[in-house]
């Protein structure tokens, strides 16, 4: 059987963000090329055969991004983005979450199957300035590329924009046996794709750039590097790509349409590798791809583009020939039966700009919108009714679980959607059917991952419950949040304005 090489982006072209009225095209930077920053691996405070102890510190700092003035940025254990945290499957993690920022934040583990809402780190788990929250959890999911980001509604977008996003890699024995490159920083390379606009003195200005449909900037930033290059010293590279942008979709391809192979998606290794020349990622999606530079010669450069703009230049050096072939089948993905007598849950994402909603409602921190029994396997039909202009793709994300994508408008999902995912791009007019199972109890958010949309209310929450062990949760409320932030900023509550609030106000609604 000949294997297909897909040569197109799977999503609906009329809904690409390039057609959005507020689209900000990427521009090639005119600054010198710089070596791609590789986020260091976070060193455990202590490690035993069964337990790992980490400290993750949110902090403010300055980063040399462009020639001239440094940019004021935020990061985890560094001035910008994060150090890469390794979670070995089967081990118990003990993490101190420290907030050294001037304002409250939360530490959300995107893609991690842990109890909600406090360990999960959404809006109900604030860490106030100068304080520490401690979490413990057992790592119980397959190897995957996950990420950590701030999630204090309705300031998630602004805090991520300032730099609060880092990678977390789950490792396990099954992935370790597969013939993938895994020498971190050498042939196993994270690529966190983001975009920013630089204002006077090389500073970012979230408010000035604000757009309720998602903030964008014309300059691509990869792992916190502007105009990066990477020195290739092995024939094969594994790229762990994260769309870490607030709004931007990335349409990725290499120079000369070099094919590449996706081996993992959000939740881990896919059952079969998928080969293509073009790959589109929507916000928060991850793809692990293997690129084979076997046909390139030392001295050549192979460029990774999004649309027509160069993102990373791979400078080819001498390398040892590598004849490794990927197996046709990588891993088995369990596909549990749907629990009998559970109705199909309907979720509707509607609107754009300030009108964004889920099921005709905007998010309320104290309202639980749905319940699902832990262990139940249920079908969810997630619909995007957005039809303004050509509409837009809403990336639907769930906390606390990895789901399976079953169909798109009744047809097969895209070829690279056969593994576990926590984020799926839904085209306008489309219903994506997913299979959802929670393994841990908790209150979990589900939302559009255009981050301004979630801040603007395109978000809801579900309680995963165990009828034998009912629980109550202390959920964050708007008054507590507003009072805390106003106090941190030294202003009166009535003068406080957080970006997502405008979407509620323009709709005549209270947050
Ligand atoms: Cu959206």
Q: Left, alpha or beta for 232 (phi > 0: left; psi -120 to 50: alpha)?
A: beta
Closest CA to 58 of 149, 172, 186: 149
CATH fold of 188-316 reads Immunoglobulin-like (2.60.40)
Task: Kindly state the tokens that stand for 207.
Answer: 């408010």
Distance 38 CA to ligand 1 centre (A): 30
Distance 119 CA to ligand 1 centre (A): 25
Burial status of residue 138 (CB atoms within 10 A of its CB: 0-12, 13-18, 19 or more): middle
Distance 460 CA to ligand 1 centre (A): 13
Distance 156 CA to ligand 1 centre (A): 14
Ranges of each domain in the chain: 8-173, 188-316
CB atoms within 10 A of CB 37: 19
Distance 488 CA to ligand 1 centre (A): 30
Distance 431 CA to ligand 1 centre (A): 14
Q: What pTM does this model have?
A: 0.97
CATH fold of 8-173 reads Immunoglobulin-like (2.60.40)
Same fold, 8-173 and 188-316: yes
Distance 353 CA to ligand 1 centre (A): 9
Distance 37 CA to ligand 1 centre (A): 30
Distance 11 CA to ligand 1 centre (A): 15
Question: Side by side, which strands form the sheet with 279-281?
Answer: 34-35, 228-232, 309-316, 301-306, 250-254, 279-281
Distance 459 CA to ligand 1 centre (A): 9
Q: Left, alpha or beta for 436 (phi > 0: left; psi -120 to 50: alpha)?
A: beta
Contacts with 412 (C-beta within 8 Å, 6 or more apart), sequence order: none
Q: What is the pLDDT along the chain (511 residues), one digit of tens a residue?
A: 457 899 999 999 999 999 988 999 999 999 999 999 999 999 999 999 999 999 999 999 999 999 999 999 999 999 999 999 999 999 999 999 999 999 999 999 999 999 999 999 999 999 999 999 999 999 999 999 999 999 998 899 999 999 999 999 999 999 999 999 999 999 999 999 999 999 999 999 999 999 999 999 999 999 999 999 999 999 999 999 999 999 999 999 999 999 999 999 999 999 999 999 999 999 999 999 999 999 999 999 999 999 999 999 999 999 999 999 999 999 999 999 999 999 999 999 999 888 999 999 999 999 999 999 999 999 999 999 987 777 899 999 999 999 999 999 999 999 999 999 999 999 999 999 999 999 999 999 999 999 999 999 999 999 999 999 999 999 999 999 999 999 999 999 999 988 888 888 888 887 7
Q: Left, alpha or beta for 415 (phi > 0: left; psi -120 to 50: alpha)?
A: alpha
Distance 382 CA to ligand 1 centre (A): 12
Distance 329 CA to ligand 1 centre (A): 34
Distance 169 CA to ligand 1 centre (A): 26
Which residues line ion ligand 1, judged by CB < 5 Å? Answer: 394, 448, 450, 453
Contacts with 265 (C-beta within 8 Å, 6 or more apart), sequence order: 285, 286, 287, 288, 416, 417, 419, 420, 421
């Amino acid at each position: 059987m000949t294997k297909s090489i897909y040569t197109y982006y799977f999503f609906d072209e009329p809904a690409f963000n390039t057609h959005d009225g507020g689209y900000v095209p990427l521009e090639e930077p005119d600054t010198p090329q710089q070596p791609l920053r590789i986020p260091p691996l976070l060193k455990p405070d202590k490690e035993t055969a069964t337990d790992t102890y980490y400290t993750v510190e949110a902090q403010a700092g300055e980063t040399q991004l462009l020639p001239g003035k440094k940019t004021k940025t935020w990061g985890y254990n560094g001035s910008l983005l994060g150090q890469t945290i390794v979670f070995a499957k089967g081990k118990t993690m003990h993490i101190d979450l420290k907030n050294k920022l001037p304002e409250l934040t939360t530490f959300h583990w995107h893609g991690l199957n842990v109890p909600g809402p406090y360990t999960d780190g959404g809006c109900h788990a604030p860490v106030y300035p100068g304080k520490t929250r401690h979490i413990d959890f057992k790592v119980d999911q397959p190897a995957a590329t996950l990420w950590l980001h701030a999630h204090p509604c309705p300031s998630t977008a602004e805090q991520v924009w300032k730099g609060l996003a880092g990678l977390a890699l789950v490792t396990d024995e099954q992935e370790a046996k597969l013939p993938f490159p895994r020498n971190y920083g050498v042939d196993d390379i994270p690529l966190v794709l983001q975009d920013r606009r630089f204002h006077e003195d090389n500073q970012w200005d979230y408010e000035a750039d604000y757009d309720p449909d998602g903030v964008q900037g014309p300059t691509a930033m990869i792992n916190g590097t502007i105009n990066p290059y990477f020195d290739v010293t092995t024939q094969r590279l594994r790229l762990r790509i994260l769309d870490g942008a607030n709004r931007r979709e990335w349409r990725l391809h290499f120079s000369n349409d070099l094919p590449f192979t996706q081996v993992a998606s959000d939740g881990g290794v896919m059952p079969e590798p998928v080969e293509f020349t073009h790959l589109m990622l929507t916000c928060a999606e991850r793809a692990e791809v293997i690129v084979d530079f076997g046909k390139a010669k030392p001295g050549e450069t192979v460029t990774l583009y999004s649309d027509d703009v160069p993102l990373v230049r791979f400078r080819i050096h001498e390398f040892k020939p590598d004849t490794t072939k990927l197996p046709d089948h990588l891993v088995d993905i369990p596909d549990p039966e749907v629990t009998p007598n559970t109705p199909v849950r309907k979720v509707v994402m509607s609107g754009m700009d300030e009108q964004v909603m889920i099921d005709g409602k905007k998010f309320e921190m104290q309202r639980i919108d749905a319940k699902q029994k832990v262990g139940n396997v249920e079908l969810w039909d997630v619909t995007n009714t957005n039809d303004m202009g050509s509409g837009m793709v809403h990336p639907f994300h769930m906390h606390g679980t990895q789901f399976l994508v079953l169909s798109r408008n009744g047809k097969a999902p895209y070829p690279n959607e056969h593994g576990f995912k926590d984020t799926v791009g839904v085209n306008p007019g489309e219903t994506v059917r997913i299979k959802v199972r929670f393994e841990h109890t908790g209150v979990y958010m589900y939302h559009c991952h255009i981050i301004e949309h979630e801040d603007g209310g395109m978000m809801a929450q579900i309680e995963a419950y165990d009828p034998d062990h009912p629980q109550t949760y202390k959920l964050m409320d708007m008054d507590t949040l507003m009072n805390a932030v106003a106090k941190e900023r030294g202003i009166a509550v009535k003068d406080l304005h957080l970006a997502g609030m405008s979407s509620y106000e323009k709709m005549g609604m209270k947050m």
